[in-house]
Amino acid sequence: MLFRKLPLIAALLMTVAMTGEGAAAGSPQVLMKTSMGEVVIELYPDKAPKTVDNFLKYVKSGFYTDTVFHRVINGFMIQGGGYPKSMYQGDMGRKENFPPIELESKNGLKNDTGWLAMARTSVPNSATSQFFINVTDNDMLNHPKPDGHGYAVFGKVIKGMEVVNAIKGVKTTRMGPMADVPAEPVVIESITVVGGK
């Protein structure tokens, strides 16, 4: 009887192995449509429950529609989710946020290429809507670096990394008080839940 079960056990182990680092069965996925193409992101509530819940709250409310990637640094990361595209008409005010969340940077996920983390101020528990996608392995952002707290990783690009790579290469400029702003808007047209929980 045991020998008959071995192929089934092997198949189950293979399925687990294929889910990838940090992945959990039924992990939610979101589709981010941008002016430069589409990106699919898998989220890991088993590792960063508060962070994922917060991100999905913004997604489901439509908050990210017509926001922009406002900070792009090739060799580091691309950051968005805080400013409307009207910043290109001189509206430098951020969108109104939900309350900030607790930092979940000790969850074992790393700020490696293609992984998403929450942006924050120098205050650890200050993340709201802004997120960034690492475009290289940024070990200096992993807990406890760089300030004793680290940055909370909560998701990974699983499709459309070529779009992320195209965004990281756009020409940037200074706009008001902000540096590294794309010279032409890179718009997040929408983010919607497409799979998982």
User: What pLDDT is attached to residue 97?
Assistant: 95
Please give the Cα distance from 185 to 115 (Å, whole number): 22
Tokens standing for 113? 């290429």
The domain limits of the chain are 25-195
pLDDT digit string (tens) for 37-52?
Answer: 999 999 999 999 999 9
Domain at 25-195, CATH homologous superfamily: Cyclophilin-like (2.40.100.10)
User: What pLDDT is attached to residue 126?
Assistant: 98
pTM across the whole model:
0.86
Please give the Cα distance from 182 to 43 (Å, whole number): 26
User: What pLDDT is attached to residue 21?
Assistant: 45
Q: What is the pLDDT along the chain (197 residues), one digit of tens a residue?
A: 444 544 444 444 443 333 344 445 579 999 999 999 999 999 999 999 999 999 999 999 999 999 999 999 999 999 999 999 999 998 888 899 999 999 999 999 999 999 999 999 999 999 999 999 999 999 999 999 999 999 999 999 999 999 999 999 999 999 989 999 999 999 999 999 998 76
Is 34 in contact with 186 (CB distance < 8 Å)?
yes
User: What pLDDT is attached to residue 16?
Assistant: 37
Please give the Cα distance from 19 to 146 (Å, whole number): 30
- State the CB neighbour count (10 A cutoff) for residue 20: 12
Please give the Cα distance from 102 to 51 (Å, whole number): 8
Cis omega (within 30 of 0) on the bond before 49?
no
User: What pLDDT is attached to residue 197?
Assistant: 61
Is 27 in contact with 197 (CB distance < 8 Å)?
yes
User: What pLDDT is attached to residue 38?
Assistant: 98
Is 130 in contact with 154 (CB distance < 8 Å)?
no
φ/ψ of residue 167, rounded to 5 = -65, -40
Tokens standing for 96? 């109104």
User: What pLDDT is attached to residue 4?
Assistant: 52
